[in-house]
Amino acid sequence: MRIVVCIKQVIDPEVPPSEFRIDPQKKEAVQGRANLVISTFDECALEVALQVKDKVPETTVTALTFGPKSAEEALRKALAMRADEAVRVDTDRTGRMDPAGVAQVLASTIQKIGGADVVLFGREGADFDSAQVGQMTAEALEMPLITLATEMEAVDKGIRARRHGDDGWSVVEAPTPVALTITNAPVNVPRIPKVKDVMQAHRKPITTMTLDELGIDPAILSEAAPVEMEELFIPEVNNQVTIIEGETPEEKAEKLAQAILALKVL
Amino acid sequence: MPNVVALVFAPAGQLPASAFELLGAGSRIAAAENVPLVAALVGSSLNDLPKQLLAHGAVEVYTVEDGLLETFQPDLYLLAAEQAVQAAQPQTVLLLHDGVGAELGPRLGARLKGGVVTDVIEIVTEGGVRYRRPVYGGKAMATYAVRRSPAVVTIRVRSQEPAPEQGNAEGPIHPVAVTLDPQAAKVKVVERIEEEEQEGVKLEDARVIVSGGRGLGKAENFQALKELADVLGAGMAASRAAVDAGWVPYAMQVGQTGKMVAPDLYIAVGISGASQHLAGITGSKHVVAINKDSEAPIFKRAELGVVDDYSKVLPVLTQKLKELLGK
């Protein structure tokens, strides 16, 4: 079984709001002192793929990214986690890239590298939180889609996955080829690569492709995209908290109860 | 003639709790663009549901009704939705950003070759319709314009005023003939897993939520939280730290990596307020925080706060509210 995991390199989403800055002209976050990391849910998706490989060693796990040269670091990390192959589609664009365009790039790349039995995505990017690329890539590849999965295994002619939907947990099955978006759960906390594997990852090849080779017009990523992000801003917070004072916790609690009632929502 | 189409899914004849919010959002867009608001309703056992949508502002309803749509199955729902929406001649398609809408919205947008915006919390109508949504885990906001019709937009649950009932439930109802092939259903549910989840209130729809974090210290301490939740008829939630510690199940997690909630009242107990948690409560009307650390970021979001040991505050708060509410 060949699993392709689509990953994106992002500015560390754990940057606290006090240090978070944006560039309103470029309409993107400013990196500042933050690290570049694999987007949170994408790293969980890698873990899900590698767990399949742990059980069935013939599984091939390919990490695929669409991003600038710096995104090779994300692929090195994936290789250090013991993904088998790494592919990068090159772009020097920064800022928001339209999800419909990104989906076309990923789908074309997956076809060019010989297809996949399973394509995994994080449930949403840890930058723009759009949750569109997985769905749209599945459409482009005409694959069925399972969203919000936390783990999967290979079964006869398909896969079985556990997912967390609106109505709670369920186990679902689908025939391959199939696409899944992965959400975080204790079961897919990403593994920490071993030092030896980190060293070896630096010697492994990374296949690089260009949009030209894929026959894709880069304009679909922004100028000719169906959606334009017109504005990015940090909303002003003029929140005033009323701290309830009192001699004892009990007194505070009684006053708080009155104050909650005064909100008139109960 | 192009329409604003509110796409509503009703498996087993059940309208989602936020269906009329979609019509509320739709009516504002329709007024701004000067086009009619219609509804597309996809499901089974629809009975009087089309009339309910007419009574809440849709001027026409397109329906796809099929026994195969008794439970949500993504492949069949997508096929049915595509047909229903096409029949309704969309300029804009609105879906709820619940699990189903978030899954199908982008796929539908790709099929219709339109422009997709997801998880919208604000619709700007001055000088053309624009869609606003939180990005970077709630640390920033972005405003989007759709350049290619149809716009396919998913709307965060409880972010919009629901359309009021207008009394007049008259209007054309157009059944759309769709032949669904059971073979087209690729994704199959083979097992539903019951969990020891809190009974009753569904977090996404909850009007009141009581939520606990790392400050609670251990699983047993969620019992005190449950007593307050019972008095208020509230949903029980937790921060990621409490879920990661294994104190409560994942289904209770609120935040960027859990559920997005928008209650009228959110009571955060022992929650510091990491940005990824605050991202999940963006739409909450009133936030109350109880935390012993006065510097905790949650107080930057809260309207009312108590700085003290929650274990001393909570029992008295529960008792007092019980008295005041006459329970």
The domains located in chain A, with CATH, are 2-223 (3.40.50.620)
Residues 185-224 of A with CB under 8 A from B: 185-186
Tokens 């990621």 — which residue? B240
* Torsion sign, CA atoms A76, A81, A85, A91: negative
User: Residue B172 — left, alpha, or beta (φ > 0 → left; ψ -120 to 50 → alpha)?
Assistant: beta
Q: Is B325 on the interface with A (CB under 8 A)?
A: yes
Q: Is B177 on the interface with A (CB under 8 A)?
A: no
End-to-end CA distance of chain B: 55
For residue A47, give how far its alpha carbon lies from the nearest alpha carbon of chain B (Å): 16
Amino acid at B317: L
CA-to-CA distance for A96 and A228, rounded, in angstroms? 9
Q: Which pLDDT tens digit goes with each residue over B66-113?
A: 999 999 999 999 999 999 999 999 999 999 999 999 999 999 999 999
Of B267, B273, B292, whose CA–CA distance to B217 is shortest?
A: B292
3-class secondary-structure state, position B295: coil
Residue A65 host element (H or E): strand A60-67
Beta bridge partners of B236: B210
Tokens 């209007």 — which residue? B171
Comparing A212-226, B50-64, B98-112, B158-172, the range with the smallest average pLDDT is: B158-172
Nearest CA in chain B to A187: B244
Instruction: Please check the confidence at residue B199 and state whether its pLDDT lies above 70.
Output: no
Higher pLDDT, B175 or B204: B175
Chain A hits for B205, Cβ within 8 Å: none
Residue pair A6/A62 in contact (Cβ under 8 Å)? The answer is no
Beta bridge partners of B211: B237, B268
Q: How far is CA B45 from the centre of its chain?
A: 23
Residues 33-72 of B with CB under 8 A from A: 72
CA-to-CA distance for B287 and B269, rounded, in angstroms? 11
Residue pair A256/A129 in contact (Cβ under 8 Å)? The answer is no
Q: Which candidate in A10, A152, A166 is best for mutational testing of the B interface (most B CBs within 10 A)?
A: A166
Sorting pLDDT into bands at 50, 70 and 90, what band is A238? confident
Nearest CA in chain B to A256: B317
Q: Is A168 on the interface with B (CB under 8 A)?
A: yes
Residue pair B124/B46 in contact (Cβ under 8 Å)? The answer is no
Chain A hits for B74, Cβ within 8 Å: 144-145, 147
Q: Do A147 and B102 touch (CB under 8 A)?
A: yes
Q: Do B204 and A166 touch (CB under 8 A)?
A: yes
Q: Which candidate in B82, B126, B135 is best for mutational testing of the A interface (most A CBs within 10 A)?
A: B135
Q: What is the DSSP letter of A235?
A: P
CA-to-CA distance for B89 and B38, rounded, in angstroms? 9
Amino acid at A26: K
Q: What's the whole-model pTM score?
A: 0.92
Tokens 């978006």 — which residue? A181
Burial class (CB in 10 A: 0-12, 13-18, 19+), A175: middle
Q: What are phi and psi of B127, to 5 degrees?
A: 65, 40
Residue pair B302/A241 in contact (Cβ under 8 Å)? The answer is yes
Q: Do B187 and A146 touch (CB under 8 A)?
A: yes
Q: What is the mean pLDDT of residues B207-229?
A: 95
Q: Is B12 on the interface with A (CB under 8 A)?
A: no
Tokens of B92: 């804009």
3-class secondary-structure state, position B102: helix
Q: Which pLDDT tens digit goes with each residue over A144-181?
A: 999 999 999 999 999 999 999 888 899 999 999 999 99
User: What's the mean per-residue pLDDT of chain B?
Assistant: 94
Q: Do B195 and A183 touch (CB under 8 A)?
A: no
Q: Is A146 on the interface with B (CB under 8 A)?
A: yes
The CB-side HSE value for A200 (13 A sphere, CA atoms) comes to 13
pLDDT of residue B196: 55
Q: Is A225 on the interface with B (CB under 8 A)?
A: yes
User: Residue B12 — left, alpha, or beta (φ > 0 → left; ψ -120 to 50 → alpha)?
Assistant: left
Q: Is B297 on the interface with A (CB under 8 A)?
A: yes
Angle at B154 between CA A228 and CA A163, to 5 degrees: 120
Instruction: Please check the confidence at residue A239 and state whether its pLDDT lies above 90.
Output: no
Residue pair A252/B315 in contact (Cβ under 8 Å)? The answer is no
Of A99, A139, A147, A98, whose CA–CA distance to B107 is shortest?
A: A139
ipTM computed for the complex: 0.94
User: Residue A168 — left, alpha, or beta (φ > 0 → left; ψ -120 to 50 → alpha)?
Assistant: left
- Of B104, B137, B302, which is closest to A13 when you measure between CB atoms? B137
3-class secondary-structure state, position B198: coil
Q: Which candidate in A27, A105, A241, A258 is best for mutational testing of the B interface (most B CBs within 10 A)?
A: A241
Residues whose CB falls within 8 Å of the CB of residue B296, separated by 6 or more in sequence, listed in order? B271, B272, B273, B289
Q: Do B110 and A136 touch (CB under 8 A)?
A: yes
Instruction: Please check the confidence at residue B197 and state whether its pLDDT lies above 70.
Output: no
Length of chain B: 327
Amino acid at B147: R
CA-to-CA distance for B274 and B258, rounded, in angstroms? 13
Tokens of A5: 């995991």
Sorting pLDDT into bands at 50, 70 and 90, what band is B135? very high
pLDDT of residue A26: 92
Chain A hits for B106, Cβ within 8 Å: 99, 131-132, 135-136, 139
Q: What are phi and psi of A107, to 5 degrees?
A: -65, -45
Neighbours of A149 (CB within 10 A): 25
pLDDT of residue B200: 58
Number of H helices, E strands in chain A: 7, 15
Q: Do A233 and B140 touch (CB under 8 A)?
A: yes
Residue pair B62/B40 in contact (Cβ under 8 Å)? The answer is yes
Residue pair B38/B56 in contact (Cβ under 8 Å)? The answer is no
CA-to-CA distance for A113 and A229, rounded, in angstroms? 32
3-class secondary-structure state, position B79: helix
CA-to-CA distance for A261 and B15, rounded, in angstroms? 31
For residue B167, give how far its alpha carbon lies from the nearest alpha carbon of chain A (Å): 26
For residue A238, give how far its alpha carbon lies from the nearest alpha carbon of chain B (Å): 9
Comparing A27-36, A92-101, A109-118, A133-142, the range with the smallest average pLDDT is: A92-101
- Of A172, A178, A250, which is closest to B316 when you measure between CB atoms? A250
pLDDT of residue B37: 98
- Of B136, B147, B309, which is closest to A29 when you measure between CB atoms? B136
CA-to-CA distance for B117 and B143, rounded, in angstroms? 10
CA-to-CA distance for B248 and B239, rounded, in angstroms? 10
Chain B hits for A250, Cβ within 8 Å: 312-313, 316
Higher pLDDT, B169 or B5: B5
Nearest CA in chain B to A182: B257
Residue B77 host element (H or E): helix B74-87
Sorting pLDDT into bands at 50, 70 and 90, what band is B194? confident
User: What's the mean per-residue pLDDT of chain A?
Assistant: 96
